[in-house]
Copies of this chain bind each other. A is one copy, B any other.
Amino acid sequence: MAVAEPDFLAELGAWLRIPSVSARPEHAVDVRRSAEWLCEALWRAGFPVAELWETAGHPAVFAEWPATDPAAPVILVYGHHDVQPVEQDEWDTPPFEPVRRGDELFGRGAADDKGQVVSHLFAARLAVAACGGQAPPVTLKVLVEGEEESGSRHFATLLRGHRERLACDAVIVSDTPMLGPQTPSICIGMRGLADCEIDVFGPDRDIHSGSFGGGVPNPAHALAELVAAMHDGLGRVALPGFYDRVRPLDGRERAALARLPFDETRWLRESAQSGAAVGEAGFSTLERIWARPTAEVNGLWSGYTGPGNKTVIPRSAHAKISFRLVPNQQPGEVITAFREFVADRLPAGMRVVIRAGGPGVRPCVTPADSPVLQAAIRAVGAVFGGEVLLTREGGSGPEADLAEILAVPVVFVGFGLSDDRIHAANERVLVSRLLKGAEALGELWIDLGSGAAG
Contacts and interface: CB of A to CB of B under 8 A. Distances in A.
A285 interface: yes
Interface stretch (A123-131, A222-230, A442-450): A222-230
A279 B217 CA distance: 7
A272 interface: yes
Interface residues on A, range: 35 or more
A288 interface: yes
A206 B307 contact: no
A432 B425 CA distance: 57
Copies in the complex: 2
A195 B347 CA distance: 25
B296 A313 contact: yes
B305 A301 contact: yes
A193 B212 contact: no
B395 A210 contact: yes
Contacts of A209: 294, 296, 298, 322, 324
A105 B383 CA distance: 78
Nearest to A319: B220
Contact of A85 (B221, B306, B317): B306
A168 to B, nearest CB: 26
A215 to B, nearest CB: 4
Interface in A234-254: none
A295 to B, nearest CB: 9
A260 to B, nearest CB: 14
Nearest to A291: B214
A180 interface: no
Given A209-B296, A300-B317, A394-B211, A310 B85 contact: yes
A22 to B, nearest CB: 8
A226 B225 CA distance: 9
Contact of A292 (B212, B214, B298, B348): B214
Contacts of A24: 306-308
A299 B314 contact: yes
Contact of A218 (B273, B289, B297): B297
A298 B277 contact: no
A304 B25 CA distance: 16
A277 B349 CA distance: 8
A342 to B, nearest CB: 14
Given A207-B273, A393-B210, A217 B278 contact: yes
B423 A312 contact: yes
Contacts of A292: 214
A320 B348 contact: no
Contact of A394 (B151, B193, B212, B279): B212
With a 10 A CB-CB cut-off, give which of A195, A223, A289 has the most chain B CB atoms: A289
A62 B299 CA distance: 47
Contact of A215 (B225, B279, B348): B279
A121 to B, nearest CB: 25
A265 interface: no
Contact of A277 (B84, B215, B306, B394): B215
Interface in A401-447: 418, 421-426
Contacts of A395: 208, 210-211
A209 B176 CA distance: 14
A280 interface: yes
A396 interface: yes
Contacts of A301: 300-302, 305
A172 B187 CA distance: 74
8 contacts: A24-B307, A207-B272, A207-B273, A209-B322, A209-B324, A216-B272, A220-B298, A224-B224
Interface of A: 22-25, 84-85, 87, 90, 150-151, 177, 190-191, 193, 195, 197, 202-218, 220-221, 223-231, 268, 271-280, 285, 288-289, 292-294, 296-314, 317-320, 322, 324, 347-351, 357, 393-396, 418, 421-426
Given A205-B424, A220-B300, A309-B357, 6 more contacts: A90-B205, A209-B322, A211-B394, A215-B394, A224-B228, A300-B301
Please list the 9 inter-chain residue pairs (A to B) with the smallest Cβ-Cβ separation, ordered nearest first. Answer: A276-B349, A210-B395, A23-B308, A275-B349, A224-B227, A228-B228, A204-B273, A216-B274, A220-B297
